[in-house]
């Protein structure tokens, strides 16, 4: 959960999000080093009138400033491609949840159960209980088991939506007539909040997502009570 004036990402709750955070730090350090070097060279050019003619015309210097950026791009591209393949890989999921976007609420269906589906609406501000979060609480949370590979099928029945949960590293478009899929695996129990991340109309800001990750035994009891 984000807090006021937060500058960084939310704490990672899935292996994919941990990889994304590491890649962000890796890339940010490269950008910081390049920016520092460029700023240093610009400051030297502005503060001194000395020039070195052999340096300005040297083939060695041109070779270095051609090869060095290529190496830096490779150092960024390789871990990026690795994470992209990890995000697309689905290894025999233990549970499948179908998510449908509507104007302006979400509906969920546990396809492994015969009749387990519900709609999830935002709780109005005047109905919130003490301690609940404005514009983020819903009447029906998505209860999922932790440390289990879960496949989420995402689509829409009207306009474009986007199903996003930052702490899990998830953001998948909900497109009418198309079924997108993503995977998630939570590493610890808790409540994880998200929102629709695609402008979908006047009530776009009122489509929260709440995932409740629980131990497998508790999830089995919950799913049995919902049938």
pTM of the model: 0.84
Res 202: pLDDT: 87
Handedness of CA 19, 5, 141, 156 (dihedral sign): negative
SS3 label, residue 61: helix
Res 63: pLDDT: 85
For every residue of 63-103, which 3-state class applies, written as one string? Answer: HHHHHHHHHHHHHHHHHHHHHHHHHHCCCCCCEEEEEEEEC
- Residue 186 and residue 95: Cα distance in Å, rounded? 13
pLDDT one digit per residue (tens) for the chain, 227 residues = 778 888 888 889 999 999 999 999 999 999 999 999 999 988 988 887 766 666 666 677 788 888 999 999 999 999 999 999 988 877 788 899 999 999 989 999 999 888 899 999 999 999 999 988 999 999 999 999 999 999 999 999 999 999 999 999 999 999 999 999 999 999 999 999 999 999 988 889 899 999 999 999 999 999 988 87
Res 6: pLDDT: 85
Res 227: pLDDT: 76
Q: What domains, with CATH codes, occur in the chain?
A: 15-88 (1.10.287.90), 95-226 (2.60.40.420)
Can you point out the beta strands (E) in the chain? 95-102, 105-110, 117-120, 142-145, 150-156, 161-165, 170-174, 180-184, 190-196, 208-214
Res 54: pLDDT: 63
């Amino acid at each position: 959960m984000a807090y006021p004036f937060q500058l960084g990402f939310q704490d990672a709750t899935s292996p994919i999000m941990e990889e994304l955070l590491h890649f962000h730090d890796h890339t940010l350090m490269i950008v910081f080093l390049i920016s520092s070097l460029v700023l240093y060279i610009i400051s030297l050019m502005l503060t001194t009138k000395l020039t070195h003619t052999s340096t300005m015309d040297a083939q060695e210097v041109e070779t270095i400033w051609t090869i060095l950026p290529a190496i830096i791009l490779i150092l960024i591209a390789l871990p990026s491609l690795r994470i992209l393949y990890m995000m697309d890989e689905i290894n025999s999921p233990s549970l499948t949840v179908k998510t449908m976007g509507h104007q302006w609420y979400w509906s969920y269906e546990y396809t492994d159960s015969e009749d387990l589906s519900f709609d999830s609406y935002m709780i109005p501000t005047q109905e919130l209980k003490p301690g609940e979060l404005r514009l983020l609480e819903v009447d029906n949370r998505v209860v999922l088991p932790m440390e289990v590979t879960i496949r989420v099928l995402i689509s829409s029945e009207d306009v474009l939506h986007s199903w996003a949960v930052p702490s899990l590293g998830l953001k998948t478009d909900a497109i009418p007539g198309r079924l997108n899929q993503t995977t998630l695996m939570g590493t610890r129990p808790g409540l994880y909040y998200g929102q629709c991340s695609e402008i979908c109309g006047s009530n776009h800001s009122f489509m929260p997502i709440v995932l409740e990750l629980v131990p497998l035994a508790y999830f089995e009891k919950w799913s049995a009570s919902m049938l």
